[in-house]
Amino acid sequence: MAQTYYAGSVTSQTIDYDDPSTPQQMADHGVLKRQYLDYLSMKNLEILEQQNSRRYYHGVQYTKDQIKVLNKRKQPVVTYNRIGRKINALIGLLERQKQDPRAFPRTPNSEDGAEIATAVLRYICDEQNWSTKSPICGSFGAVDGLGGVEIILTQGDTGDVDIGIEPVDPSSFFYDPRSLKPDFSDARYMGIGKWSDVDAAITLFPDKEAEIQAATETGAELTSNPDSDIKWVTGGDGSRRIRIIDHWYIKNGEWYWCIYTGSLILREGKSYLKDEKGRTMCKYIMYSANIDQDGDRYGFVRNMRSSQDEVNQRRSKALHTLNSRRVIVEKGSVDDVEQVRREAARPDGVIEVSPGTTPPTFDDAARGQELQGHLAFLEDAKNEIENYGFNPALIGQGVQDMSGRAIQLQQQAGIAELGPYMLAFKGFKIRTYRAIWCAAQEHWTSERWIRVTDDQKMAQFFTINKLSVDPATGLPTLVNALGALDVDIIIDEGPDEINMQGDAYDTLTAMARSGQPVPPEVLIELSPLVGSVKQRVLSMIDQAKQQAAQPNPLQVAQAQEQLKVTTATATLRNAQAQKALSEAANPRQQGAPSDLDVVRSVAEIRNTNAQTAKTLADARKSDVEAQLKPIQAANEAARTRQQAQSNLT
């Protein structure tokens, strides 16, 4: 019996538990529990830093003790959350530079398959609302220092499973503490742990109802105690809860999963995901922003926390200084010193002194110098945060009086400072696209319609895994079978070179710009356009050449009319020459031409005949060339495409 279950928001997957090939009791509960506890103990400082970073991002930047001291001083609690603004600007930058997934073929014969893979990837991303989930993953990486997604398989309506993408909350994520790589490729286990109501857990695992009832409130040691969990678990609403762990681990070179509590295993199995080489893989696709010398992962908050504290504290101190006033009084000159202090701080305060005593004086000059010092350091702290990671020019701030080139240089410098984080996030997206494509190839076997959009923004559909009949053999065959496609998944990043074909295209483009003759067919053949667009453009060029090679009907009519005039002129001259010969042959006529006139007439007749023959020959030659031009143009286009394909191979 195939089941689909959810452990709170921990996991969801489909597996056949009645399959006799499924091994039983693959996991050692004690070993898995010890691995999770190792993470909690060895990564305690990292967990605490993540909690503190989340507080700073959300504006909770004072501790209870600090607030108590400030209230005792009657000093205002001031919070200017520049860290949150900086992180939000970074997420906005990621959104401005986001790219859609795109598949490129490994061989020229796989271009059609690459188009299908691109459509499938974008279909899954659109269906899972990836455009809103991707910024969440970026925010987790920037604040907590790590982020990622889990690939979820659920039973769909078409008979195949549906592929889901869900962001992973870093507060519930755990991993192998020995892992030091940004992409967690060296981690031998990872997973998430969350609290669940007992009733929800029983609904998900009905066959374990008795064990779950007995395990209520167990597993409290399996928690990293994030603020949200502490508030939820100790809320006092009377609900019975249980801690559930979704643990993925490597055993004998293969990935396995196990869902357990503090005292029992609920479900387990072998990974249902495979990579492009057929090896099992983990469903968690994670990345980290930075890794320090101790192997702890951290985000942008660590390097901005000190400056943020200085901004808050100096601004608070400056306000307190403005609202206070130092008073110098002679002992015994006033009756109540505290009343003098209060009246001196008021803008309309009145201070009474005893007759004959020295009136109090105010240390306003020293207070002004102190205030100026606080404001100067406050400005330095603000600039430190503003210029950290990326400069304001990258988001269009402070560039009103700059030239275009100056703005471009500043923005390039700002992106360069974000290099490690941007590269890590880009690699995470590529690995996510590879994972969902491999999942589609593995689990999508039924016929399915995919929606695509062409250049005219018109909705179109095509089918994958369609059962048809091979016209050559008459046997059933699959059309657009995903499992048979061989493509390489990368993200289109604009000027970056995709492969050798892109390099050749850029080289030829530079040659064309310099004035060297490069056939447009070659540029189109090597361009990064999809195969169907290339074919349409090349067909349009061939049609234009054929139309240009065909003779203009007006020019043909003019040539025929000129030929008629030339023929008539030649006929007239021939008749005149014949008449002259006839008159020369009859000497009895008066005014007969001389022998010299006869010779001249004969010469003119021969010259006219020669010109007539040449005109007729030129007309026939023009007609033949007009008929041959379309054929020659088609042959030349075919040779050019064949040469371009041979160069690529």
Q: What are residue 148's DSSP bridge partners?
A: 286
| Residue 536 belongs to a domain | no
* Long-range pairs, 515-520, Cβ under 8 A, ≥24: 519/640
Q: Which of 300, 321, 346 is the last residue of a domain?
A: 300
Query: Which two structure tokens, joined as six digits, stand for 114?
Result: 């690459």
| Residue 56 belongs to a domain | yes
Q: Is the pLDDT of residue 175 over 90?
A: yes
| Cα–Cα dist 87/97, whole Å | 16
| Residue 305 belongs to a domain | no
Q: Summarize the confidence of residues 541-551 as an average pLDDT.
A: 71
pLDDT band at 288 (very low <50, low <70, confident <90, very high): very high
Q: Is the pLDDT of residue 596 over 90?
A: no
Highest mean pLDDT among 1-10, 382-391, 517-526, 579-588: 517-526
Q: Which domain holds residue 203?
A: 2-72+127-300
E strand or H helix at 14, and its extent?
strand 12-16
Q: Identify which of 226, 225, 169, 212 has the alpha carbon closest to the alpha carbon of residue 192.
A: 169
| Residue 17 belongs to a domain | yes
Helix pair 130-143, 44-57: axis angle to 10 deg: 120
Number of domains in the chain: 2
| Residue 642 belongs to a domain | yes
Model pTM above 0.75: no
Q: What angle do CA 164, 167, 172 make, to 5 degrees?
A: 125
pLDDT band at 11 (very low <50, low <70, confident <90, very high): very low
Q: What angle do CA 510, 511, 516 make, to 5 degrees?
A: 150
| Residue 608 belongs to a domain | yes
| Cα–Cα dist 394/412, whole Å | 8
| Cα–Cα dist 228/171, whole Å | 9
Q: Which of 272, 300, 328 is the last residue of a domain?
A: 300
Q: Summarize the confidence of residues 290-312 as an average pLDDT.
A: 90
What is the chain's Cα-based Rg? 42
pLDDT, one tens digit per residue, over 211-241 is: 888 876 555 666 666 666 665 555 455 567 8
CA distances 360 to 8, 23, 322, 347, 474, Å, are 69, 89, 19, 16, 111
Query: Which two structure tokens, joined as six digits, stand for 353?
Result: 């002194």
Burial of residue 449 (CB within 10 Å: 0-12, 13-18, 19+) is exposed
Q: What are residue 477's DSSP bridge partners?
A: 468
Which ranges in 244-387 belong to alpha helices (H)? Answer: 301-322, 337-345, 364-386
- Backbone φ and ψ for 268, nearest 5 degrees, come out as -160, 165
Sign (positive or negative) of CA dihedral 205, 207, 209, 214: negative
| Cα–Cα dist 187/35, whole Å | 12
Q: Which of 281, 300, 319 is the last residue of a domain?
A: 300
| Residue 63 belongs to a domain | yes
| Residue 600 belongs to a domain | yes
| Cα–Cα dist 182/234, whole Å | 35
Q: Summarize the confidence of residues 454-465 as an average pLDDT.
A: 48
